[in-house]
């Protein structure tokens, strides 16, 4: 949930945005790392294995698919229900554009 993600971010969680780049620059969770679902297979080695991963997309469908795949490979992965839409609707900080 958005509340779990907010608490986890405070504790240094690793947040992965699985949307496409144009969606990401339109607004994303601060600190979220962009790894589009379409690139996941090629980039899975970039993901840390020593802490939980919070997967987020627009509404929660893609992140749930990615979470299922990552869990089957031993990752501690959590899908953020409601996605970026719910994060923005909650009034929490959002970054527009690419992170520097």
Exactly one of 57, 66, 77, 80 is catalytic; which is it?
Answer: 57
CA distances from 98 to 5, 7, 23, 30 (A): 20, 23, 10, 10
SS3 state at 15: strand
Q: Active-site residue 38, yes or no?
A: no
Residues identified as active-site: 57
């Amino acid at each position: 949930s958005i509340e779990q993600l907010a608490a986890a971010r405070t504790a240094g969680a690793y947040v992965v945005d699985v949307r496409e780049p144009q969606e990401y620059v339109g607004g994303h969770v601060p600190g979220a790392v962009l790894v589009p679902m379409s690139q996941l297979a090629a980039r899975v080695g970039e993901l840390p294995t020593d802490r939980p991963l919070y997967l987020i997309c627009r509404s929660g469908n893609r992140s749930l698919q990615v979470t299922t795949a990552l869990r089957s490979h031993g990752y501690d992965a959590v899908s953020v229900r409601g996605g970026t839409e719910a994060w923005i609707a909650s009034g929490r900080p959002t970054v527009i554009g690419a992170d520097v």
